Structure 1
């Protein structure tokens, strides 16, 4: 046996009581019987001992059993996981984990060894099963999204009653939103498309890319803010010049630091500055503004002409490209041997014709070269004009802001009639600007060199293309396995003869054979079809896990393959109790599939929970580990167990 199977499940009660279920490894095991005997609690017990946060064991079990333990085995290796059962509410945090060789379940719950908390128990089970990297504290952190844990394997172990004939739910727990997220995030790991390191690298990569995008957005906003800072600083300096607080304006190319320093100097000097107003300042700015407007008009006209030229060149390029194909004639015509290219005779008329063809081909070749050389120069010139327009437009906005400041100063000076008062107002505006707005704009730039380097390194490690290819390969393998298995199971149209298409979304569809229509799960119809599809998928995933050595136990716990054929509830059912002969044949066909497919897959164990007792099949009868019927009175928890303390 090369995969983990369940050897025993034990329930512990008061007074040293123990109820033990024993199973054969690498085989089909059947527990059959009546409803209400606790058969379905086998799934709940295994799930609970895999570290579930919830305890879904039935009320009767909780009232009479105080602990449960599962004995796993792989060859000569053993793993015993035990856990206290709460009377009500969520699962207990106290667990017991012990691994080694030749281990046996203790007789009482008090003798369970390896007490620990639930998180540590999960990590120990993960390490035993082979879920990688559990020794790394960063990897083992519960908050890591997408990291596979022991809680992500139940969907591949259990075909529970709410799933096995469901038209909507493909895997166990996939119908629970809080579980579906983790199933979807970790399925690439279990399908062998990624390892734990690449899962975490991909998560870190997403975080770093988001951080870089945020820095770039902030840098872009800062750049826009710096442009606004320049405009406001120049406007204030223009106002200061207008009231004689500064002799001349700085250069349009002056840095923001120089502008702010000059404003700070004005603020510190206050209103006592000498009147150094230049009466020509406004006239100079008006002249510059008119010049900029004129230049912009000229540049825009040039831009329009260049666009028209590019459009015409594009049309000409299309025509010349068509003619360029004529150059290929040179490969077929012998124009240099003195013979006529039409009749292959050697005469003067033929030579003249060859010369004309050569001339024509030369013209076409020159046209192609001319077009190829002209287009890049046109594009470069167009880009140059666009850059000039942007530069001139930015300067125009600065000049207009400065003019607006001068006009405002003059208007306010007229109103107040006092230069000193106007200077005080300008100095006040500068003070307020330096104390508030300018400080908001002054943010330290962030060096992203190291961040970009880390992102590039992680992108190399994640290799999304290789991940997609490995994932696609796994999907194709599961689809092929399931298609083959579906042939061995009883189905109805449209599932009969259909091809299974599995996606790691996870999702499944069928391609029916007659019209090759792609059918979603909800469109397939018939409980018998849904039963066949779920069985084929469950066994196909287990076959893939065996092939790629995935860290998933070789276990399938199946809750009633007879659901489409028997009414719900009641006592143990016999094959002859089915109303239709076709249903009896279908039931026997499914049983054969279970035994044959389990035998084909090395290390696979099946625990079948059933109402049906198929006494017509000797192999089925031999696989029965318990018949919990109303007549026998046998149950998961014996009726004579006392209530727990």
Structure 2
């Protein structure tokens, strides 16, 4: 996102303004120690919605009444500000054109202040219009309080734009705020949003897709339940229909079971015409034949059940025996030594070898058997699986025998009623009523409507799947391609920095899925060397700088699709070359260089100051070249703000270092002077 900081400043308790102006491209704030250079990145971070005030304690914090940042987002100028108290909310005011002269104490009117959470949401809308990033409503329901997933925040942007003094050459960390796992995970998860690969519609479509899929699955489960109920009732219809036909004395079925189940209402109408007194065959032995067949079938099923029961008992016995066998094997120990004695003739004292050979064979046999026992393949799991199958079959036979018993009992009950001189037709009507009740129950399980609903939802899902695939498909592949682009840029950019010889040519690789960075050695080794293992502060520094420049080059190519602000802060990047500059109190940089040279005189193995100055000059030269090239290619470039001790450098591209400093040299002054108490 095209973003430009116009000014960072402080209004002190006397109402005096202390501004630092910036322009597009590369900006340098240079000066001695304790002048407030590092405070600039902290002031920006605080005004950009940090819940903590981490501005270094000292003159600035003792004097400040208001911290502010004037910036433009896509050419919309605005001023954001904070009071020193983090709980007092944050200030946001849009302006047509920013004018530094307007910034006075009374500019920060109370009605422009908002609670911090509302401020961050309001500011986010200038970069990104998104409110809900839950892909799964079911997952949200499982979270405490049914809260939505954390939406992308402007705070995640800071991981891509701020390189603090303790981070810029850190070998253990690359990104600001990644020491907190939750913030790290959120930034990584939201990257696909920041890069414009998905938008708000994607999450709404994903939620609707999940809802429709869940509804289809629910209806299918309901359909399956209805189907199972129908199958159960169908199994009961057959015997009742057969009994009814037998009681009527029919030799053949006037209406088959299949025909009855095909159209239940028509079957009932036809049966009303078939089951009438005049069609009863009183001389038929159909009931007797059916009774005989049922008992014969029951006898067969009972015989099969007994076989299965014996099989189950046998398997159980084998399992118990194997358990005992395994326990015995564990207790068995292979003999470490077998003692062999020779036989000697008591008369001639001659030793016989035959017994020794037999003993050797016995020894080998014992060792082999003990080894085989120890390596015996266990069969318990196979036996247990077989036992489960047998028990299932036993359950099936038990049910079938129970059903046969019930049918036999029904026939015997009917015969008993006839013996008690009750009407046969009355018994037939009772059986018919039972049949019709079952058929009516089957009507309740009719799933025609369910099938229509499932089909309609399936069509909606098909349309939604096409849209998701067409507009948002292959997000992971796109992230990989984005990383490949960044890797390509790192190879170009890193080639101009002074990595150690063992890492040349530098071959850095980055992943948008894990946010890991490593150097890949040439083939055939192809070893991944992560930052923590690379050694040397210069390697760590240039890895950070190379990665962030490559990232922002890629972001610039994306243009408005990328919501990450086009700003990079590098605080004290040259500290790896001049660690002693933390105590830089000289009035000119040249004086400090002389002091540094004196300190290095007696240190064995230290490079000459001029060599380090040359490396530092190259760093700033490459930053300047980078900005110019990006602007030529994209008509705008990231704004890079470097706060450092280095000064009076000669750049290789002919750009004046003084033009980069642009008046922000703090050797005789600081950001703010102490305010009288």
Scaled to the shorter chain, the TM-score interval is: 0.5 to 0.7
Mapping for residues 446-595 of structure 1, pairs under 5 Å: 446=453, 447-465=456-474, 471=479, 473-505=481-513, 506-513=515-522, 515=524, 517-522=526-531, 523-550=533-560, 551=562, 552-567=564-579, 570-572=582-584, 574-576=592-594, 577=596, 579=600, 580-581=606-607, 582-595=611-624
Give SS of 1:95's match. Answer: strand
Mapping for residues 399-478 of structure 1, pairs under 5 Å: 401=399, 403-407=401-405, 446=453, 447-465=456-474, 471=479, 473-478=481-486
Q: Is the 8 A contact 1:27 1:598 kept in 2?
A: yes
Cα distance, 1:557 vs structure 2: 0.7
Give SS of 1:525's match. Answer: coil
Q: Is the 8 A contact 2:26 2:623 kept in 1?
A: no
The answer to whether structure 1 residue 106 and structure 2 residue 116 are counterparts is no
Mapping for residues 21-32 of structure 1, pairs under 5 Å: 21-32=20-31
Picking from 43, 46, 49, the partner of 1:45 is: 43
The answer to whether structure 1 residue 179 and structure 2 residue 183 are counterparts is yes
Give SS of 2:257's match. Answer: coil
Query: Aligned partners of 1:460 and 1:143: how far apart in 2?
Result: 18
Q: Is the 8 A contact 1:475 1:503 kept in 2?
A: yes
Give SS of 1:21's match. Answer: strand
Cα distance, 1:527 vs structure 2: 2.3
The equivalent of 1:167 in structure 2 is 171
With over 3 angstroms needed to count, the CA separation of the structure-2 counterparts of 1:548 and 1:100, relative to structure 1, is same
The equivalent of 2:200 in structure 1 is 200
Structure of higher CA gyration radius: 2
Q: Is the 8 A contact 2:12 2:64 kept in 1?
A: yes
With over 3 angstroms needed to count, the CA separation of the structure-2 counterparts of 1:99 and 1:521, relative to structure 1, is farther
With over 3 angstroms needed to count, the CA separation of the structure-2 counterparts of 1:562 and 1:408, relative to structure 1, is farther
Cα distance, 1:518 vs structure 2: 4.1
Deviations 1:575-599 (A, max 9, x none): 4527432544433332332333334
Cα distance, 1:165 vs structure 2: 2.3
Deviations 1:284-343 (A, max 9, x none): 567899999xxxxxxxxxxxxxxxxxxxxxxxxxxxxxxxxxxxxxxxxxxxxxxxxxxx
Picking from 87, 91, 113, the partner of 1:95 is: 91
Q: Is the 8 A contact 1:575 1:613 kept in 2?
A: no
TM-score normalised over the length of structure 2: 0.59
Q: Is the 8 A contact 1:230 1:256 kept in 2?
A: no
Q: Is the 8 A contact 2:213 2:461 kept in 1?
A: no
Cα distance, 1:29 vs structure 2: 1.7
Deviations 1:107-137 (A, max 9, x none): 11554585556566556645555x4xx3xxx
Q: Is the 8 A contact 1:498 1:513 kept in 2?
A: no
Mapping for residues 232-631 of structure 1, pairs under 5 Å: 232-234=232-234, 251=257, 281=290, 401=399, 403-407=401-405, 446=453, 447-465=456-474, 471=479, 473-505=481-513, 506-513=515-522, 515=524, 517-522=526-531, 523-550=533-560, 551=562, 552-567=564-579, 570-572=582-584, 574-576=592-594, 577=596, 579=600, 580-581=606-607, 582-602=611-631, 603-610=637-644, 612-615=645-648, 617=650, 619-620=656-657, 623-624=660-661, 626=664
With over 3 angstroms needed to count, the CA separation of the structure-2 counterparts of 1:163 and 1:443, relative to structure 1, is farther
Q: Is the 8 A contact 1:125 1:150 kept in 2?
A: yes
| Structure 1 unmatched runs, 5+ | 263-275, 293-396, 420-426
- Number of equivalences: 505
Query: Aligned partners of 1:591 and 1:164: how far apart in 2?
Result: 15
TM-score normalised over the length of structure 1: 0.62
With over 3 angstroms needed to count, the CA separation of the structure-2 counterparts of 1:565 and 1:254, relative to structure 1, is farther
With over 3 angstroms needed to count, the CA separation of the structure-2 counterparts of 1:140 and 1:215, relative to structure 1, is closer
Q: Is the 8 A contact 2:298 2:401 kept in 1?
A: no
